[in-house]
Structure 1
Amino acid sequence: MDPTPNEAALDEAVAGLLDAAGITAQRKLIARILSAGLGLGHDGASRLDLKITAAAVEEMRAAYRLFKPYSATPKVTIFGSARTRAHDPLWVGAEGVARGLTEQGWMVVTGAGPGIMEAAATGAGPDRALGVSIRLPFEERPNSALAQDNGHLVSMKYFFTRKLMLVKESRGFVCLPGGFGTMDETFELLTLQQTGKMEPVPIVLLDRPDGTFWRGFARFVTEELAGSGMIAVDDLDRVLVTDSVDAAIDEITGFWRNYDSLRWFDDRLVLRLRAEPSDAELAELGERFSGLCLTGGIERTEPFPAERSDRDRLELPRIVLVPRERAVGDLYRLIRALNELPSAPPPAVAETHPAP
C-alpha cells in the first residue's frame, strides 16, 4: 500500500531531521527508531509506557558508548552473589579467573556491585574491568574497584536493559554461586543458547573447592528437567561445571582456539574456522558427528553469496552442515572437536593459577 500523504510527509520530515543532525550512516535504522517513537505518540501510549521506552533507549545508548572503544577486545562476563565476602573461596576464585583471563588479553564485565562482582573487577584491574550497575533501593552500589573510574561504568534503572548489556558484548561467561539474580542470569544464558538466540559461547559454572552448589544444580537439571522431558538430555553438555580456576580459564580461551563464528543460511549452518581441516580430519568428523546431521554430512564450503556481499570473515576457511533440530549439545561437542584437531592453531599459553 502506498504511504498516505501524512506518512509521506512524516518520512520526509524524519529524513530532514537526519540531514540536520549530520547523520549519514545507518540512516534507515535510525529512521525506524525515530518513527517508532513518533508512533508511540500516535498510539496514545501511557506516560509510564513512554518513560520505560525513553529510559531503555537512553540506557542502551549509554552502554553502547561504554563498550564501543573495546569492541575488538574479547570480553568475559562474570556473575555471582553480591553477598559473598572478601577472602571467601568463591571470592578468591572469581578474582583468580578474572586475573588469569586479563593476562591473556581479555576484559571482564560485571554487574559492578559488591561480592563476586567486586572480586572479579579487582582481579581484572581498573583498566580491564567494565561495569553495568543497577540502581536499587537496597544492597547494591557500584563497588570500589569501579566507582573510582566512571569511564568504565554505566548505571541502569531496569534489569532487562542491564541483562542485555551484560550478555551482548561477551564471548564467554563464568557463573559463581549466587541467589535469585545469579540464577536468573544463568538460566537466561542457558535459554538463549538452547533456543539459538545467542551464538555458541563457553559457559563455566565455577564453584568453591569441593563445592556442591553447581553439582546440585546440574543434578536438578538432569533429573527433574531432562528427566521430565522438558529439555533435551544433552542440553547441559554445553556447560563446564568445575571448581578449578585454571579449568575455567582454559574453557573460555580454548573455545575460540579454532572455532571463530557461525552463520545460518536457511537450514544450512556454516562454521568459520581459524585453520583449514585436512581431508582425513573432515572425514573423521563426518563419521563421528553423523548423528548431528539431518541430511548429508560435514563438508568444506566457499563463502556464501551473502557472506561475500557483507564481506563477512571471507579470509577464514569454512565447513557446512544441515543439523537436526534441538542438537545444541552435539553442536558444542563439534566445536570442541574442531578446537582439538591437529590442524588447529596451538592453544594459548596460560600461567598457572593456584586453586583458591
Structure 2
Amino acid sequence: MVDDGRTTEESRDRGPRAAWTGLPWLVRSAVLWSVCLVVVAAGLYLLGRIAVLLAPLAIAVAATLFLTAMLDPVQRLLRRLRLPGSLAALLTVVLLLGALVGVGALVWNLTAEQFDKLSGELIRGVQETRNFVTRTLPVTDQQLDRLIDQARRALGGGGGLDPVSGARTAAEVLGSALLALVLLFFLLKDGRSMWRWVLDRMTGPNRTVTAEAGRNGWHTLGAYSRGTLMIAAIDAIGIGLALVLLGVPLAFPLALIVFFGAFIPIIGATVTGAMAVLVALAANGPVTALLVLAAVIAVQQIEGNLLEPLIMKRQVNLHPVVILVAVTAGTLIAGIAGAFVAVPITAVLWRVIDTVQQHRAAPSSGASA
C-alpha cells in the first residue's frame, strides 16, 4: 500500500513535468522568453513610474553632479590658495551665480528686442517651407495641417495652456534650482569626504572595485561637462560667424540658441541648425539657406569627428543610437531638463559598468594564464 501511494505521488509529480518536456523545444523557449520579457517590462514600467514621480529631485541631483564636475577645478584652485573648504565652495558657487547673472544681463541687453524679430522670421521661414512642400509634393494645405496637428498631439503639445499646471511647473523649477545650489555647495565642500565615508564602509575586493568605478565615472562626468561646454562655445562661434559672413540677420540670438542646443547631443544641434536655416530662408532666400545648411553640417562634422574625440579624449564613448535613445527617454520623462541630463547619466553608468566588468574578467583571465 505504501508503495502504491508513493507510485501515485510520483506519477502526479511527473505529470506536469512530462507535459512540459513533451512540448517542442521551440514552444518551451518561447514560453520562457515571454515570461522573462513580461518580468523585465514590469520592472522597467515600475522604474519609469518612480522616475516620473521623482523627476524634479532626480533632475536637481543630476544637474548638481554635472555642475560639481564642471566647477571642481575652480574649487581645487581656491583650495591651493590656502582657503578653507567652506569658503572655497562658497566662492565657487558665488562665481557661478555671478557668471550666470552677468551673462544673462548681457544677453538680455543685446537680444531682448531681437527675439521678437526672430520669432517673426521663423514663422516666415516655416510658411515658405510649407509653400515649397505644397508646390513640390502632392500634398495639400489641409493634409499638411492634419499631419502637423497629429505630430503635435503625439508630442504632447495638443492641449491648451493650463495656469495651474504652469504655476506648478514654475514652482518645481524654482525649487529644483534652489535645491541644486544648496547641494552644489555641500558637494564642493564635503564631496570627497562623503566618498571616503562610503569607501570606509566597504571591505575586500568590493572596496577596490567601487573606488575605481567611482573614480572613472567621476572623470567621465568631468570630461563630459567641461568638454560639452567647450564644444557648445565652438559650435556657437562657428555657426554664428558663418551667419555673419552670409549676411543673415539675428546672427547673435541664433548663435546663442546654438550654444544652449549643443548641450543636448544630436537632437539639439539638429533643431538649432534647422532654426538658422529657416531664418536664412525667410530673410535672404533659398541660396543663402543652402549655404547656411552647408555651414551647419560642416561645423557639426568637424565637431563630431575632430573636436569631440580631441576634447573629451574618448572618455565618453557612446554610440549615436544609444545617445538618441537616452535623449528621447530623458525628454519623455522630464522634458528639456531630462534631455539635458540623460546623456551624462548614461555615459557615467556605462563607464561604471565597464569598470566592474573589467574587474570581474581580470581574475578569470589570470587563472586561464
* TM bucket normalised to smaller: under 0.3
More helix by share: 2
More strand by share: 1
Q: Structure 2-normalised TM-score? A: 0.25
Structure with bigger gyration radius: 2
Q: Structure 1-normalised TM-score? A: 0.26
